Structure 1
């Protein structure tokens, strides 16, 4: 074998080994170190800790409470504080409170603190009772970010100022109103507010002409200085470092007169970052940034040439970029969110002329806010007007019918097939031979996913005091919740998105206390029925009914509910009183007391039955028994339990 061939295989082997190492580290569950305080928190521990804040506290919910990561001598912990104190990144603190392990997710569609914190090498949470600031070291970069963001927020307002600050610093470090974030997400424009390659290209486009007449070392220094400033302001986020590293490599290659290979630069940048930060392989922002960049390099130009057959050149060029990025990132959108922003391509085309001048204007305003604050109100007027126009466009697209097509999160096998289909259609070299196979795969994935959405199913999610039951029939869905609190509502919203449910037909809240705020539930449901003052949500003779989904009370003095899903009937028994009400109707040992009881396909118990109750349930001939919590001492084959935090799911005939 020639020397060049051996060298080629050596490089391939080295890259394969690096990729294997990255995959092993990324997919190996993170574990706390020997000195991490979580080892004593079983289930909780009251103690005092000292450490350094890794970032400014971020608000939770309505903003009264907040959270922040505290770096300890060994390990980290997340502080939960209410009310939220005025703290800053880098401050040293002494905190006293209750340390506990974070909750794990009861279902893959629900986010939970344990998974979120594990990605940050954190394995405990502390509910802070007392706090003392020990030291306030200087943090010039963090102070600069705060001053820029605060100046724009104060002068332009929460919405306009938040968008302008995000265009400079990235939405990850800027407090944006939830309504604005949701609107950008629904319109498929979240990337516009995330610090990425676009913002870096705008910055370099403004800086590089200034150094055109300079000698090469000064020109390189000016560009690299702009990149370093971008990293300092936006922070070392995955998408930021990917864009900066690519820009730096491309700049050096071009300045040295070498031939630039965009895909090679992208691959080298990703490999270098993953060698240092292998856990980024599972980071959603990193994945979307890498895939979207590859889409622009591989498919944007061929798509533009194809669109020129039917559209003017300007329109073809404007459509090609968002079309390529949206098509390539479709598998990731479904895998992580289960939602497809239907109007992402036209929304990107419409806002594209606004984003470049608006980003340049926001960067200029941030600079003025630091160097010449008195000029900020005057210069803000045209930029704020342009930002207002952007928000009008974004909200209009977000308000269109079916702005977010909730297809649900498909299985990993379907996502893999969809990835292969996208590659077969979008890569020009493959498309010549395999485009029809790719199109068939896409159609097949859609048929299977839509068929799953239309099937009859029952899903139980249990976590602590939370119990949610989702019933599905031919594409429709209804919800039964044992609690009516805000946390249960937020979890129900997450389930709806992950399951591809646009709106619940109805929501039945079995909480004996009236829901404090039914507005959250009404946002996701066509009808919400909850307990009144001392009365159950449903009385005998009443029904909650939609095609194929029916809920009716079993008795007037309990929370027992008969749930009909298509041709299946389940009894929902949240507590012992509900079980007793059913037993009174059926009679002792399964002998009907008054009339024949309809056949029951399954029973859900919100409590752990005693041995006598288990035996009675066995005599009823129920096909399935589901429990929230642990299995009883003598479990039967037809019995299944969620455990302390988990879920059960079944397809119904």
Structure 2
């Protein structure tokens, strides 16, 4: 082989090896639990005499890394506290009285955050691990020690407050999010959910789109300037963007990519967008390898790759296939959201199990509003800082445009199946889906080999059939955490739920679980809590029929039953919560407490396909349970050391599941 041909080949091999090494290192760091610093308060919980994991009363001093953020409708808040060594999360009764950058002394009960009891559920331990914290402090008293100057935090807070005060929480919050990003603005939860359902979440997250709008306005101003002042102007704009939005992964990716592209263009070279994107991502992963597991970083890189690789070929393909009467701009306008939606589909399913079905048309309708609205919001931010009296005059037209975008978003979010709940597929199926989509969407000569392109439809079909088979399978899932138990029964794509508790937390956990399994709505929900549901609307929103106690009595009496085809619950007695659950051709016995266990033993003996125990039975009772089950025996909590064969325990926080064909 001639030397001139061997050099590019060697260069590609070297670059491929470097990329592989960076990705392997980032993957290793992301999957390895970080070790807390020697002075981190988590070591106090592990010290001898600390109470074996019980909350510990402590007083901590540190600096707030953010303003307190609301955690739910009850008004409670949380904030991250930077300690001399390590971090902890403060759990506060209210959001007022504390600000980012203040030094505070917090007194309260320290504990370790609980891990998620099931892979489909979110847990505070996993969230805090990504933020570098290993403990939570339930604050009983907080004292401000110092209020050092925090000009950046004050500027962000001032901008958001003035826009919110001017035109309200929805329109003002949207304008503030277009400048600062939704992570730094108290947007109404309903508005966030509407943007997510419409497939427009990227409009609220500070990213490359917002930077491109900013640079599109700034660069023409410096067109006649010499090179270095022109680059200085662009650099100042990008620095301002980072300062306002914060050093989030997607923000730094966009700024680094923009800086590299400008440097290449100003030096007279021809930049390859995909190469610049990969270089930016690799530099960031070398610096912060744990960002490989960040969902925002993943979506940002993959969506940008879709735009630079296949948006143009997709546009050409659409031009050839659209009817002649379609306007010429439709192909170009559709190619961008279509490419981003296709390439991010595997990540959407893997992380959320939900697909925004109307993302492409929603982006088409919103696109004419987003660019001028983002530019207007940035101009208003400048006015709010430099000449606040003019804000009242300039705000109404931009606010009207903001309100129009809110109407568009809510309109698409209200459409049937706006969020198509497909469930979270197995990792292997996600890889098959990604490979199939790449095979179909990569451009011709630079894409996959011909064999790979021919295999792409087969890979997509295999992924779809595999996931459909999992969705249609019969399955029983137990999730146990503390005194709460959820039993989800799935049959031929439908599901029903039995919950020991009727509180709002159990309802939200049940909703997450159903979404992860691709269940848009439960057939029915049976709540065995003697106390009436605290949030009945939450339960009714996710089940066709909810049966719960209203006065302490049992929701089901002997002779009654609650069911749908293949999913039936019947009580065993009038004085206990013992339930017979029919799941397809199988019959399970549910014994939540000791009274239910006694009531079952008093009934006529019969064989069960499986038994669930909410309480640890005594030794004679274990023998009776073992004899009555011809299948699995599940126990919530810790199991006995001498458990008979076939018994499985969930542990203090855990899950068990069994599926059938």
Shorter-chain TM-score range: over 0.9
Matched, 1:601 2:609: yes
Asked if structure 2 preserves the Cα contact closer than 8 Å seen for 1:407 and 1:450, the reply is no
Q: Shift of the alpha carbon at 1:432? A: 6.8
Which residue of structure 1 lines up, in the alignment, with residue 49 of structure 2?
Answer: none
Deviating more after overlay: 363-372 vs 501-510:
363-372
Task: Confirm whether residue 286 of structure 1 aligns to residue 290 of structure 2.
Answer: no
Specify which of 56, 61, 77 is matched with residue 67 of structure 2. Answer: 56
Q: Does 2:353 correspond to 1:338? A: yes
1:230 aligned partner: 241
Q: d(CA) in 1 for partners of 2:553 and 2:115?
A: 34
Tell me how far apart the structure 2 counterparts of residues 40 and 578 of structure 1 sit (CA, whole Å).
41
Q: Paired residue for 2:560, among 542, 567, 574?
A: 542
Question: Does the CA contact (< 8 Å) of 1:148 and 1:366 recur in 2?
Answer: yes
Distance 1:514 1:7, change over 3 A: closer
Q: Identify which of 299, 313, 321 aligns with 1:310.
A: 321
| C-alpha distance in structure 2 between counterparts of 1:103 and 1:15, whole Å | 35
Shift in Å at residue 624 of structure 1?
1.4
Q: Which residue, out of 169, 172, 181, partners 1:170? A: 181
1:35 aligns with 2:39: yes
CA distance in 2, matches of 1:83, 1:234: 25
Q: Of 91, 102, 110, which residue of structure 2 is paired with 1:99?
A: 110
In the TM superposition, 1:152-301 aligns within 5 A as 152-301=163-312
Name the counterpart of 2:635: 627
Answering whether residue 510 of structure 2 is matched by residue 492 of structure 1, we say yes
1:22 positional shift? 2.3
Q: After TM superposition, give the deviation of residue 39 of structure 1 in Å.
A: 1.7
Residue 483 of structure 1 corresponds to: 501
Aligned equivalents of 1:514, 1:148: Cα separation in 2: 44
Are residues 1:640 and 2:648 paired?
Answer: yes
Q: Are 2:458 and 1:440 equivalent residues in the alignment?
A: yes
Name the structure 2 match of 1:563. 581
SS at match of 1:332: helix
Q: Does the 8 Å CA contact 2:610/2:629 hold for their aligned counterparts? A: no
Distance, in Å, in 2 between the alignment partners of 1:621 and 1:570 is 9
Question: 1:544, 1:566 → 2: CA distance?
Answer: 14
Residues 458 and 652 of structure 1 are in contact (CA less than 8 Å); yes or no, is this contact kept in structure 2? no
Deviation digits for residues 176-225 of structure 1, max 9, x if unmatched? 11110110101111011100000000001111111111111110000010
Match of 1:372 in 2: 387
Question: What aligned pairs does 1:123-162 form with structure 2 within 5 A after superposition?
Answer: 123-162=134-173
The total of aligned residue pairs comes to 643
1:386 to 372, 381, 401: 401
Task: Specify the alignment match of 1:517 in structure 2.
Answer: 535
Please name the residue that 2:50 is paired with. Answer: none
Q: Check conservation: 2:69, 2:95, Cα contact below 8 A.
A: no
Q: Please, which of 466, 489, 492 is the counterpart of residue 484 of structure 2?
A: 466
Match of 1:309, SS state, is helix
Task: Give the drift of 1:370.
Answer: 1.5
SS in 2 for 1:213: coil
CA contact (8 A) 1:64 1:82 kept: yes
After superposition, the C-alpha distances for 1:134-181 in whole angstroms (9 at most, x for unaligned) are 111101011000000001111111111111110110011111111101
Secondary structure at 2:39 match in 1: coil
Which residue in 1 is equivalent to 2:621? 613
1:566-602 deviations in whole A, cap 9, x for unaligned? 111111111000011111103xxxxx4xxxx3x3111
Partners of 1:443 and 1:15 lie apart in 2 by: 31
**Is the contact made by 1:99 and 1:125 (CA closer than 8 Å) also made in structure 2?**
yes
* 1:422 matched residue in structure 2: 437
Is the partner of 2:603 in helix, strand or coil? helix
Aligned-residue offset at 1:647: 0.5
In the alignment, structure 1 segments of 5+ residues that lack a partner are 587-591
- The whole-number CA distance in structure 2 between the counterparts of 1:199 and 1:531 is 51
Name the SS for the 1:328 alignment partner: helix
How far apart in 1 are the matches of 2:21 and 2:250?
24
Native 8 Å contact 1:568 1:652 kept in 2: no
Task: Summarize deviations over 1:296-326 as a string: whole Å, max 9, x none.
Answer: 0111000000000133431100110000000
Deviation at 1:633, TM superposition (A): 2.7
Residue of structure 2 equivalent to 1:589: none
**Contact residue 548 and residue 564 of structure 1 kept, 8 A:** yes
1: CA distance, partners of 2:78 / 2:397 = 36
Distance 1:284 1:567 in 2: 40
SS at match of 1:195: coil
1:45 to partner: Cα distance = 1.1
Shift of 1:637: 1.7
Q: Does 1:352 align with 2:367?
A: yes
Q: Deviations over 1:83-135 (max 9, x none)?
A: 33321111111111110010001111000000000111110001011111111
- Alignment partners' CA distance in 2, 1:223 and 1:445: 45
Q: What displacement does 1:394 show? A: 0.7
Structure 1 residues 73-92: aligned runs within 5 Å? 73-92=84-103
- The root-mean-square deviation of aligned C-alpha atoms, in Å, is 1.5
CA distance in 1, matches of 2:365, 2:637: 51
In 1, Cα distance between the equivalents of 2:470 and 2:97? 49
SS of alignment partner, residue 483 of structure 1:
coil
Q: Which residue of 2 aligns with 1:573?
A: 591
**TM superposition score normalised by structure 2:** 0.95
Distance in 1 between residues matched to 2:116 and 2:463, nearest whole Å = 27
- TM-score (norm. length: structure 1): 0.96
Q: Which moved more, 1:437-446 or 1:173-182?
A: 437-446
Distance 1:422 1:623, change over 3 A: same
Q: CA deviation at 1:8?
A: 5.9
**How far apart are residue 34 of structure 1 and its match?**
2.1
Which secondary structure state, in structure 2, belongs to the residue aligned with residue 607 of structure 1?
coil
Q: In 2, Cα distance between the equivalents of 1:406 and 1:11?
A: 39
* Other structure's SS at 1:228 match: helix
1:91, 1:373 → 2: CA distance? 26
Secondary structure at the residue paired with 2:520? Answer: coil
What SS is found at the alignment partner of 2:641? Answer: coil
Three-state SS of the structure 2 residue aligned to 1:232 is helix
Kept in 1, the 8 Å contact 2:432–2:462? The answer is no
Q: Distance in 2 between matches of 1:467 and 1:322?
A: 42
